[in-house]
Chain A
Amino acid sequence: MATAVMTTLDPNSRSAARGMSDLTIRNLFIIPTIVFLIVFNIFPLIYSLGYSFTDFRASSPAAANFVGLQNYRELLNDPFIWSNFAITAKYVIVSVVGQVIVGFGVALLLNRDIPLKGLLTTLLLLPMMLSMAVVGLFWKLLYDPSFGIINYTLGLGSFEWLSNPDMALYAVAITDIWMWSPFVMLLSLAGLSAVPKHLYEAAAIDRAGSFYTFFRITLPLVAPILMIAVIFRTMEAFKTFDLAYILTSQPTTEVISIRLYKMAFQEWQTGRSCALAYIVLIMILAITNIYVKYLNKVKER
């Protein structure tokens, strides 16, 4: 059917009445998108690759000088940059693992017949519909050591979530987990509801324990879709900027995108920040590739 639409035109349709050919219609839809992608994504991407080999500063009228691999060399030798990467890695691991545990856990709880299931699911999805900046601003209030509700309910006195250098990154990760667990939950729920019921019935007849059922039936069947959630969340967590930027300014929470922002738009080291952006891009591509390979393996099973 789909191919039929592509190759023939309903003689009664408006397009036919205007005398547009299939090719015209296809072009009408595809060309603007391609032009948009080229102008706003691909062209800047290539252009900034060029800048990454220069000492260009957008704040100065001086011409850019070609410096070869100097920017890359200096960045990769900068201990502050490496500590930014280490912080980012720690953040990604804590936040994504947290989201998978919470999100998948909630999905398991919801994957049964309970009253008001639809309403409950919708309410649980609310956090991820909020803007990052808004979430950051109100979690800052929740974490406040003097009047924040978190310390009040947990009886922590004036525990400093955001100004304690060792705690601040976890505080940001907790906020991220709160915000994005619903996303993992939603995908897991879709995966869980697709597991055929007869497998559980067969397991029950064979008197399989609940752990065995979970690890041999539920998890393997949900794994592919869970992997997709993990890929998305890893990419997003790697790029995190807003939450960490708004919540705290501890050096221990300076993830790589914050460093990149400062380098590009406060210090105006345009060339060097392009190089850093490329290093980040390559890292994200590498990580995603590993995940995708693993995802394909899981699917093959």
Chain B
Amino acid sequence: MRKTMTSMLAGIGLVLACGTSVYAQDKELTIFWAEWDPANYLQELVNLYEAETGVKVTVETTPWSDFQTKAFTEFNAKGSAYDMVVGDSQWIGAASEAGHYVDLTDFFNKHNLKEVMAPATVKYYAEYPSDSGKYWSIPAEGDAVGWSYRKDWFEDPKEKEAFKAKYGYDLDVPKDFKALRDIAEFFHRPDEKRYGVAIYTDNSYDALVMGVENAIFSFGGELGDYANYKVDGIINSEQNVKALEAYKELYSFTPPGWAKSFFIEDNQAITENLAAMSMNYFAFFPALINEASNPNAKATGFFANPPGPNGDQFAALGGQGISVISYSQNQEEAMKFLEWFIKEDTQKKWAELGGYTASAKVLESPEFQNATPYNKAFYETMFKVKDFWATPEYAELLIQMNQRVYPYITGNQGTAKEVLDSLAADWNATFKKYNRVK
């Protein structure tokens, strides 16, 4: 028995020893990202890098709901499991101030990425603090919230006639938020199991807030002054009150049980014939033009977030930049990979595979804009995007906004003015706590 045990242990030891030596010889890089289609496209892209250089790159993923928690747990433990992370835009303050990300300012300037990448992506994915000229990531997956709609419902002559009779103008892609609301109301027919609109309502991370931002930004509002942390009179401004009321009204035209919906549900609203229009990130639109995942693929159209009552037109920014993690033991190799990643050819390939490149040249090219029914809307949107706070305490701000806004939108609690006044007080208290304001 003792002999068997000894030989077994020896065997295990040998396997481990061999394993380590093989590992040491091969260069490997691991990129951490959330579990969604673009991560699969990225894996396809990095396979090309392996073919060129022999360096194996693996894209490791985790569901969106615990992406932030898992990434920061690893960072806080100073773990070297991942060499790079395609981190959310609002993490950049927390991750750079805590020293989790490698400073990429020199790399950025050397390759003149400020010009190479679209301006909004540089501002929100790479630079922190705002206008400081310090860069922490390379814009990788551009993204913003857009809309999909049922072309067949919109183009039905009977519907067109009925719409015109009721609202006095033609049924078409909404020109502004008012039209969006009217169309949602028009198609909202619970008796026929058809509903007006699908919007984001999930309050577990940033879904609901992104949805509300779409209204706030297009109504001409802001979340606050990001440079000096002023929120009073900004987050609870007149425009924001109107925007929040408009979002709440849209909620009344959603399918039943729509109080915890994010990208999966919003795409289902189109594929399952539930809603006439659906809000979603552009990153999820490839599934809607694929007939295998959307039986209504041919009848699905897309449009950019419409302007508000004063003609302002903006959209909430999604998307991520790719950063090198300070605790990685392969930083040099990671930088080589980034040099390859920013090449124009690579960015073109990235767009072809389904990734949303942030490269200005590729975005502007007619090939890109005509490649899919939504690329043009994406290109237009990427120059009109705004984002949430990127300060290290953004998660607290996010939870406070969810706590205040969610009961109002889904549960009729309070008025928009009360909700936003309370939110201003919460945010002020948080900024005071972290000595951002006196």
Q: Using A61-B98, A146-B256 as known contacts, say yes or no to A80 and B403 having CB atoms under 8 A apart.
A: yes
A158 engages B76 (CB within 8 Å):
no
| Any A CB within 8 A of the CB of B120 | no
The smallest beta-carbon distance between B403 and chain A, in angstroms, is: 6
A165 engages B407 (CB within 8 Å):
yes
For B396, what are the chain A residues with a Cβ–Cβ distance below 8 Å? Answer: 267, 269
| Any A CB within 8 A of the CB of B260 | yes
Interface residues on A, range: 20 to 34
For A269, what are the chain B residues with a Cβ–Cβ distance below 8 Å? Answer: 396
| Any A CB within 8 A of the CB of B102 | no
Complex: chain B residue closest to A164, CB-CB = B259
Query: Chain A: interface secondary structure?
Result: loop
B410 engages A163 (CB within 8 Å):
yes
| Any A CB within 8 A of the CB of B299 | no
- Which residues of A (30-80) have their CB < 8 Å from a CB of B? 58-61, 80
Interface residues on B, range: 20 to 34
Q: Mark A234-259, 1 if CB is under 8 A from B, else 0.
A: 00000000000000111110000000
B260 engages A248 (CB within 8 Å):
yes
When the two chains form the complex, which single residue of B69, B255, B407 contacts A266, counting CB atoms closer than 8 Å?
B69
For B403, what are the chain A residues with a Cβ–Cβ distance below 8 Å? Answer: 80, 251
Number of A-B contacts (CB under 8 A): 74
Give Cα A160–Cα B259 distance, bound, in whole angstroms.
Answer: 10
- Which residues of A (162-180) have their CB < 8 Å from a CB of B? 162-163, 165
B69 engages A250 (CB within 8 Å):
no
Q: Using A80-B403, A163-B257 as known contacts, say yes or no to A249 and B202 having CB atoms under 8 A apart.
A: yes
| Any B CB within 8 A of the CB of A265 | yes
For A136, what are the chain B residues with a Cβ–Cβ distance below 8 Å? Answer: none
A59 engages B75 (CB within 8 Å):
yes
Give Cα A250–Cα B94 distance, bound, in whole angstroms.
Answer: 27
Report which residue of A144, A252, A262 has the largest number of chain B beta carbons within 10 angstroms of its beta carbon.
Answer: A262
Complex: chain B residue closest to A165, CB-CB = B411
When the two chains form the complex, which single residue of A160, A248, A268 contacts B395, counting CB atoms closer than 8 Å?
A268
Closest 3 CB pairs of A and B: A163-B259, A145-B257, A165-B411
* 19 further contact pairs, Cβ within 8 A, besides A60-B94, A163-B257, A165-B407: A59-B72, A59-B94, A61-B99, A80-B403, A144-B257, A145-B257, A146-B255, A160-B256, A160-B259, A162-B259, A163-B260, A249-B202, A250-B260, A251-B406, A262-B399, A265-B73, A266-B69, A266-B395, A268-B76
By a beta-carbon cutoff of 8 Å, the part of chain A in contact with chain B is 58-61, 80, 144-146, 158, 160, 162-163, 165, 248-252, 262, 265-269
